[in-house]
Amino acid sequence: MVAELGHFCLWLALALAVLQSFAPVYGYATGKPWMLAVARPAAMLQWLLLTVGLLALAWAFYSHDFSISYVAGHSNSKLPLGYRISAIWGGHEGSLLLWVWILALWGLLVSLLRGAVPKDIHALVLAVMGMIGIGFLCFMLFTSNPFDRNLPWFPLDGGDLNPLLQDPGLIIHPPMLYTGYVGFSVAFAFAIAGLIAGKLDPAWARWARPWTTVAWAFLSIGIALGSWWAYYELGWGGWWFWDPVENASLMPWLCGTALIHSLAVTEKRGLFRAWTVLLAITAFSLCLLGTFLVRSGVLTSVHSFANDPARGAFILAFLVVVVGGSLALFAVRAPVLRHRAGFEFLSRDSFLLANNLILLTATFVVLMGTLFPLLGEALDIKISVRAPYFNAFFVPLTLVLMMLLVPGMSSNWKKQEGRALLKRLFWLVPVSIVLGVAVVAISGGELPFVAVLAVVLVVYVLLAHIVDWAQKALAFRSGLLAGARRLPRAYYGMVLGHIGLAIIVAGVTQVSFRESERDLRMLPGDVATVAGYEFTFAQVVDRAGPNFNAVRGIVPVTSNGRLVTTLHPEKRTYLASGQVMTEAAIHSNLWRDLYVALGEPIDDTAWAVRIYYKPGIGWLWIGSLLLGIGGVLAATDRRYRSRKSEEADAAA
């Protein structure tokens, strides 16, 4: 019964989404304020209904209702409670419900936090979000209902959640990632509402900007969590595979990064209006494209959901309506919104333009790399696009981006005097080169030129921000710390974002050039030395988990005769599915990870063992966390929290 209640709530939510979409548009067109006012309660109620739906599915998992196909396919009577809950989003249907619920959550937040947005535009924003909701609710109800029952022959026990997904990282990765993905729908809705109302000025950018930045922060953390999960769960130490599904999340992130920078220009200078709107549309379109790629079976990927051409056709049709419609609206409306204001070649404006061009080039590179197999199929050529292709573009693009970042953030809006800028860089460049080369030499020497350049640029970005921060704080003439407290949050957001980028680049450089790995056949008692650590394959024991049996290796690690840690890699056999999983054991500190994974048993006593030494890998997660924190700080800057409306509501 609970499942039927959940199912019914989804239908009610769809009905409300229709109301939320069309009433405000009608109200806007005919000037009826009470029709506009429908949007807010509709959005709130929709969230409530979808929450009931989500809880109903949670209940079905909690109570082991295997008559529901989705539960039977993704759970098992022995599955621990935590994974039974995360199993809600462990498959296509349930993750779609989570998607729609998060969309409704954003809708709820937008309806609660109107701020200074005029009532008519606010209602249009909610209407656009309602339309997206209609599409996804229909998709779920017509092709992928999580509440479908498998009667009368339902299985006595479920088939179990994919063991790969039975992991703490997977409890939080999808919600984070979807929060980011779906969050771009708010920026998109603002763009469409702005196009309809013909209002895309600095005030518009100020309304849209915090929502975009928060979505971007969640997406950053979601991607990092996915990478972290792949790193420790797949058992071979890689952290990024250029897999179509990873690319699907990276494209909106790159485009979203361009968008948050171009929104800055639109807010501060009123420039790049059409461009910013186009980026907002593109970022969300890439989110939808990602959804299409993951769920249509068009591309094969380790992450993809069950293939179903009907689902693919549905999303593609939805994609054409949403993206095609909004780009057509853009083409018709954008020329009207043209705004003339100049800026000099040397100015923060033009550096941010360069930032946008680089990030969009990167987005395009990923798009081509991801779709090439499809294009190849259409043209009948088989070429596999792998890491070398992506690296060939990403390494230079990232390095150029970092080079331009510092003069960009040191320049004034509109016009920067060349000599003053040179004076700032005059000491910074040589100091960074000296320090960077020194760091390389001290930390182990001998790196290829591109890696040394990366380290120098990391030092350059870090130094530039520290000095800039100190100068700005001291400018208040009240001492460094008191001054630092007076700097706005948005400034700290920018600094943390840029420092996060530098730390990620430092980590990637280290792990790419200084990792070492060994694949060994080891007998109990064997010792292997990797990067100065002695790994002793002491013995192998059996262990029973809640829903698996495991073989566990006991591997003490010593360095210079001192015990560093004892690692316990496992090979797990999951009872319900018979699937075998490698559970790597990792010891982390700030500088490096020691990583041991158990391979196959070779004969009665010997095992294949993989040992990795991964320097700097932790910096990837730390840097990503800084991106997330920076985004949240920037979005909660005081100027966005003011409820004062600059635009009189009477205008509505």
Partner 1 sequence: MQPRKGLWMFLPLLAFLGLAVLLASGLGRDTEELPTALAGKPLPEIQLPSLMRRGTEVSNELFIGHWTLLNVWATWCPTCYVEHPYLINLAEQGIRIVGLNYKDETDKAREYLASLGNPYIEVAIDESGSYGIDLGVYGAPETFVINPQGEVVLRYVGELNDRSWQQRFAPVWEKETQ
Residue ranges that bind partner 1, judged by CB under 8 A: 69, 72-74, 150, 152-153, 155-156, 158-160, 274, 278, 281-282, 285, 292, 296-300, 306-307, 309-310, 312-313, 316, 319-320, 323-324, 327-328, 330-332, 334-336, 338, 371, 374-375, 377-378, 576-579
Give the Cα separation of 263 and 206 in Å (integer): 8
In the complex, minimum distance from the CB of residue 41 to partner 1, in angstroms, rounded to a whole number: 35
Structure tokens at 620: 């990837």
Q: Of 31 and 155, which CB lies nearer to partner 1 in the complex structure?
A: 155
Q: Of 244 and 408, which CB lies nearer to partner 1 in the complex structure?
A: 244
The answer to whether 182 touches 106, Cβ cutoff 8 Å, is yes
Q: Of 488 and 545, which CB lies nearer to partner 1 in the complex structure?
A: 545
Give the Cα separation of 321 and 451 in Å (integer): 45
Give the Cα separation of 372 and 370 in Å (integer): 6
In the complex, minimum distance from the CB of residue 108 to partner 1, in angstroms, rounded to a whole number: 30
Q: Of 148 and 526, which CB lies nearer to partner 1 in the complex structure?
A: 148
Q: Of 239 and 330, which CB lies nearer to partner 1 in the complex structure?
A: 330
Give the Cα separation of 282 and 259 in Å (integer): 9
Q: Of 142 and 591, which CB lies nearer to partner 1 in the complex structure?
A: 142
* Residues 6 or more apart in contact with residue 435 via CB below 8 angstroms: 456, 459, 463
Give the Cα separation of 88 and 101 in Å (integer): 12
Amino acid found at 638: R
Structure tokens at 602: 């070779």
In the complex, minimum distance from the CB of residue 13 to partner 1, in angstroms, rounded to a whole number: 26
In the complex, minimum distance from the CB of residue 320 to partner 1, in angstroms, rounded to a whole number: 5
Structure tokens at 65: 């209702």
In the complex, minimum distance from the CB of residue 61 to partner 1, in angstroms, rounded to a whole number: 14
In the complex, minimum distance from the CB of residue 38 to partner 1, in angstroms, rounded to a whole number: 31
The answer to whether 593 touches 612, Cβ cutoff 8 Å, is yes
Give the Cα separation of 436 and 424 in Å (integer): 18
Structure tokens at 114: 């109107």
Q: Of 321 and 475, which CB lies nearer to partner 1 in the complex structure?
A: 321
Helix axis angle, 348-379 relative to 244-269, nearest 10°? Answer: 150
- Continuous H helices in 63-166: 69-74, 81-86, 92-112, 119-143
In the complex, minimum distance from the CB of residue 290 to partner 1, in angstroms, rounded to a whole number: 12
Give the Cα separation of 294 and 306 in Å (integer): 9
In the complex, minimum distance from the CB of residue 256 to partner 1, in angstroms, rounded to a whole number: 17
Q: Of 378 and 544, which CB lies nearer to partner 1 in the complex structure?
A: 378
Structure tokens at 403: 């080079």
Q: Of 69 and 416, which CB lies nearer to partner 1 in the complex structure?
A: 69
In the complex, minimum distance from the CB of residue 328 to partner 1, in angstroms, rounded to a whole number: 6
